Amino acid sequence: MNADHPDTSSGTGGWTSPESRPDDVSRETSNAGWVASTPDDRDHHREALKSSVPEVDEDTPLAAQLALDARRRIELDGRRFPRPESTRIITVANQKGGVGKTTTTVNVAAGLARAGLKVLVIDNDPQGNASTALGLEHRAGTPSIYEVLVENEPIESAVQACPDVDGLWGVPATIDLSGAEIELVSLVSRETRLRKALDRYLEDRVSRGEERIDYVFVDCPPSLGLLTVNAFVTGREVLIPIQCEYYALEGLSQLLKTIELIKAHLNPELVVSTILLTMYDGRTNLAQQVAAEVRQHFPDQTLRTTVPRSVRISEAPSYGQTVMTYDPGSTGALAYLEAAREMAEHTVERADLR
Ligand code: ADP
Ligand code: MG
């Protein structure tokens, strides 16, 4: 544990597949220890439990964090998120490296799946970090997004179920993808290949009678090349993770300009729907200033939930896991689950950035 960044863990945060805990039957939660028979009862119990968590002095950050985690655990345990009206396709982008794109992609995706939704992650970054975190096979030669983009293979031939999370699938990226940026240049409809492949996959699933996918996330490389352009043409929404540090906003205007160009020429539906502040340390003035500035510019898009710096979050990928399964009761897992809930419950069309 990092002394500067308390990363609390419940120890009782284990969770079972949402399928095994449908909303409308009696059940007992391991965390909160209550039994409730209807959704209304459960809301009532949640409120009672939350009000039993003592108020704490904001000057004691550890106590405050523990109280916040306790409330979140009560609020989120076993909760199912609403299904969107149609499949939401979300591109996670920021041309800066190391701002939390991949971490956000896999953890929000796992959070939504944990809450009962069907989620697909497309790893569109040659580094393959999302594939690693989701526990997907991605050795050279494994059917991957490269074959989909460059060789016209159907997505179905590359999809893998995530071993640890029910309702979560992924299309891996292998080392082959590092050549795709150049190979794509000479191919026909080079900007729309991913979109066509995904639209076909989603339609085929439904016509085969398989369950609809609720969310698709496309993880992008830290550049604005053809792989990212394909991701922007595929997505109907963009999620931008912003790291709360110096120069956080630098480069954002370039990103927004690129998105406007894509919108004007290739994908008129595209909107920046969501901004998530990552690696946030509320005790530093800098993080607070960056957060305030982002919220001032993008009040409708910025999620209320911020993701703290968390040792657990950064450890999880080396075990081929998201933090949702690696340490589901930890501060970081709860923050990502809360962010996922905000995204799922934000049903209103978000205003565009223009
Ligand atoms: P990107 O995909 O934008 O390049 P990553 O998601 O790979 O960024 O994150 C960069 C590094 O920061 C990774 O090592 C990741 O484990 C770590 N990291 C991301 N988010 C957090 C967090 N909230 N707390 C601690 N480490 C984090
Ligand atoms: Mg990444």
Q: Which residues contact 200 (CB under 8 A, 6 or more apart)?
A: 154, 155
Query: Using a 6 Å cutoff on CB, does residue 99 contact ligand 1?
Result: yes
Distance 52 CA to ligand 1 centre (A): 34
For the whole prediction, is pTM greater than 0.75?
A: yes
Q: Which ligand is nearest to the CA of 312?
A: 1
pLDDT for res 56: 65
Closest Cα partner for 47 from 37, 34, 56? 34
Query: Using a 6 Å cutoff on CB, does residue 313 contact ligand 1?
Result: yes
| Whole-number Å distance between alpha carbons of 48 and 142 | 50
Distance 25 CA to ligand 2 centre (A): 39
The owner of tokens 């992008």 is 220
Query: Using a 6 Å cutoff on CB, does residue 318 contact ligand 1?
Result: no
Q: Are strands 88-92 and 215-219 parallel, antiparallel or unpaired?
A: parallel
Q: Which atom of ligand 1 is found nearest the CA of 94?
A: 3
Q: If you ran DSSP here, which 8-state letter would residue 350 be given?
A: P
pLDDT for res 348: 43
Give the three-state DSSP class for 208.
Answer: coil
Query: Using a 6 Å cutoff on CB, does residue 288 contact ligand 1?
Result: no
pLDDT for res 63: 79
**Tokens representing 225?**
């090349």
- Asked whether 319 and 327 are in contact (CB, 8 A), the reply is no
What is the full DSSP assignment across 100-156? SHHHHHHHHHHHHHHTT--EEEEE-STT-HHHHHTT---STTS--HHHHHHH---GG
pLDDT for res 59: 65
Q: Which atom of ligand 1 is found nearest the CA of 97?
A: 4
Distance 243 CA to ligand 2 centre (A): 13
Q: For 2-34, give one letter per residue: b (16+ CB within 10 A) or e.
A: eeebbbbbbeebebeebeebeeeeebebebbeb
352, containing H or E segment: none
**Tokens representing 48?**
């009672």
Residue type, 63: A
Closest Cα partner for 104 from 129, 83, 126, 85? 129
| pLDDT by residue, tens only, the chain of 354 residues | 343 444 544 443 334 344 343 333 333 333 433 444 576 777 777 777 777 776 766 667 777 788 888 888 877 888 899 999 999 999 999 999 999 999 999 999 999 999 999 999 999 999 999 999 999 999 999 999 999 999 999 999 999 999 999 999 999 999 999 999 999 999 999 999 999 999 999 999 999 999 999 999 999 999 999 999 999 999 999 999 999 887 888 888 889 999 999 999 999 999 999 999 999 998 889 999 999 999 999 999 999 999 999 999 999 999 999 999 999 999 999 999 999 999 999 754 444 433
**Tokens representing 103?**
């971490």
* Residue 220 neighbours by CB distance under 10 Å: 28
Q: Which residues contact 40 (CB under 8 A, 6 or more apart)?
A: none
Q: What structural domains does the chain harbor?
A: 6-76 (no CATH), 88-345 (3.40.50.300)
Query: Using a 6 Å cutoff on CB, does residue 312 contact ligand 1?
Result: no
- Asked whether 188 and 60 are in contact (CB, 8 A), the reply is no
Q: Which ligand is nearest to the CA of 133?
A: 1
**Tokens representing 304?**
């209320």
